[in-house]
Amino acid sequence: MSETTSEIAVLRAALAAAEARASAAEDALVAAKGELTQVQAIVSASEDMIRHLRPQIAKLRREQYGHGAERHARLIEQLEMQLEDIETDIADDRAKAEATGPRAMVAAFERRRPARKPFPGHLPRERVVVKAPTSCTCCGSARIVKMGEDITETLEVIPRQWKVVQTVREKFTCRDCEKISQPPAPFHPTPRGWAGPNLLAMVLFEKFGQHQPLNRQAERYAKEGVEISLSTLADQVGACAVALQPIHDLIRAHVLGAERLHADDTTVPLLAKGGKQTARLWTYLRDDRPFAGGAPPAALYYFSTDRRKEHPTRHLTGWTGILQADAYGGYNDLYHASHRPAPVLSALCWSHARRKFFELADIKATARKGRSVAEEISPIALEAVKRFDAIFDAEREITGLTAEARHDARQRLVRPMVQDLHNWLRTERARMSKHNPVAKAINYMFAEDGRWDAFTCFLDDGRICLTNNAAERALRGIALGRKAWLFAGSPRGGDRAAFMYSLIVTARMNDVDPQAWLADVLARMPDTPLSRLPELLPWNWSQIPQRRAA
């Protein structure tokens, strides 16, 4: 009996030990599964991140040769397309890891919810209080006391409100002479005065500043309950152009009074018989801010039905100074010795020259065409872009300094790099065939006698900028607007568009809201004498507190 009891105890102990080993093995298996899932999550996240970083690394390698928007815009475009899928895959792997085992902590990829930017403080606040409970939600007691509140802010918009302003002029009759006395009618921005200055400014800014044609504006106004015909809106736009002519004349005189101008042009579709023709919109920009000049910036636009060289010659009749532009031959008459009162000095744009090399060193464009980067990317083009960017980097450091300080810095820092670039380009071109694309890019800077001098004249004058990017930025809105308004209806319509672009872009360059400025100018011009019209120019208008508040 004792032996049987002893055997049973031994068996029980062995069973307990076996059960313990089985339990430990099961726990180890579960832990192993959790660790395996965790490792899989880390590996999956790492693989996705590697796939995400490969194109970024390729872009960043090119970034040392790129410049401005050509670098960052393409990198951002690539990253935005991949970011959503990568974050979704990583979140999916983490969820699986949490369901089968310990949470997989991947600290490097821990996502943080960004803090929302607070709404502007000047916006009015409408307080909506949710009905408070009258009793405790737990025990039902009515003895509850307020201890605080939580506020959630939601941004809302009030639909545009229209109103009719009634101007009342009372009549009085004299009991002695029986004559009628009445105050004179107020002046209006446009004839017949049915549209107020704010409405006119809105129509002008949406058409020329936001590129919304009048027919689309009329449709939107009709949906808001105010029907205004297209012809009526067109009449008001023409009347406003006539009313604003004195302001435009002052801006034109200010621009042409500069000693240095930026010039450029862009295509504009023009409606013609049987289709459309390619017209041109020209801009001449005054911007003295890069060399700490005191004159406010301004822009002047012109329209032409073609790109013949007589147009810039006519636009700049009687002007002389420094013209920063590309190598378009239409400006050559301005540089000729016969130009009066004196020949214009040509200062060519380094961004145009650099762009030709950049196109030969564009990694993404080459990969998009399905070609091998190693075969298609020219090492000489890459080296050229690298040398260009060293010059650009040095120029960025001296932007905003005085002309004298910029000249001194260029003699010390930039001139040696420009001379090295000149010698290197000459040496490399001598080794190439004239049909080599890189040789053609080099020839752009040496194609004609004096072209290299036009590229390097900035070294001897601190007022001259390295590039003509200021004029290109002034034309960027027109390039975007072409997709909205499709074409100019007539040459007079193109002239009117150039007229309004001069006003709107000048206001923007002086950090002035164009619509608020146009509304105030249209309201004040009828009562403003000619001697005080300069007060309405954007750079003077912005200095008046009540104007800024508008």
Which residue from 494, 507, 467, 484 is spatially nearest to 217, judged by alpha carbons?
484
* Dist CA 277 CA 45 (whole Å): 54
Q: Could you tell me the sign of the dihedral formed by the alpha carbons of 480, 247, 313, 323, in that order?
A: negative
Check residue 80 and give its pLDDT.
Answer: 45
Q: Which two tokens stand for residue 384?
A: 């050229």
Q: Please report the pLDDT score of residue 100 as a whole number.
A: 59
DSSP state of 121: T
- Distance of alpha carbon 6 from alpha carbon 12, whole angstroms: 10
Whether 531 and 242 have beta carbons less than 8 Å apart is answered as: no
Task: For CA atoms 39, 44, 45, 46, give the dihedral sign.
Answer: positive
Q: What is the predicted pLDDT for the residue at 276?
A: 78
Tell me the residue type at 549: A
Per-residue DSSP letter, 414: I
Give the pLDDT score at 4: 62
Q: What pairs with residue 172 in β-bridges?
A: 181
Query: Residue 534: how many CB atoms within 10 A of its CB?
Result: 13
Q: Say how far apart CA 452 and CA 313 lie, in whole Å.
A: 23
Query: Which residue type occupies 55?
Result: P
Rounded to a whole number, what is the distance in angstroms from the first to the last CA of the chain? Answer: 108
Q: What pTM was computed for the model?
A: 0.75
The residue written with tokens 């939107």 in the block is 220
pLDDT of 75 reads 46
Cβ contact 325:346 at 8 Å: yes
Residues 195, 204: Cα–Cα separation, whole Å: 12
Rounded to 5°, the CA angle 235-506-321 comes to 120
**Per-residue pLDDT in tens (0 to 9) along the chain, 550 residues:** 555 666 677 667 777 777 777 777 677 666 666 666 665 666 565 555 555 555 555 555 555 444 454 544 444 444 444 444 555 555 556 556 655 555 444 445 455 656 678 888 888 999 999 988 889 989 988 888 988 888 888 888 888 889 998 989 999 999 989 899 999 888 888 887 789 999 999 999 999 999 888 889 999 999 999 999 988 999 999 999 999 999 999 999 999 999 999 999 999 888 877 777 889 999 999 999 999 988 999 999 999 999 999 999 999 999 999 999 999 989 999 999 999 999 999 999 999 999 989 888 875 555 455 554 444 577 888 899 999 999 999 999 999 999 999 999 999 999 999 999 999 999 999 988 888 889 999 999 987 767 899 999 999 999 999 999 999 999 988 877 776 665 667 888 889 999 999 999 999 999 999 999 999 999 999 888 999 999 999 999 876 655 545 5
What Cα–Cα distance (Å) separates residue 341 from each residue in 318, 320, 346?
6, 7, 16
Separation between Cα atoms, residue 41 and residue 35, nearest integer Å: 10
* Composition of the chain by helix, strand, coil, percent to 5: 55, 10, 35
Between CA 488 and CA 283, with CA 205 as vertex, the angle to 5 degrees is: 55
- Please return the burial class of 358, using the count of CB atoms within 10 Å of its CB with bins 0-12, 13-18 and 19+: buried
Q: What tokens does 29 get?
A: 């298996």
d(CA 280, CA 203): 24
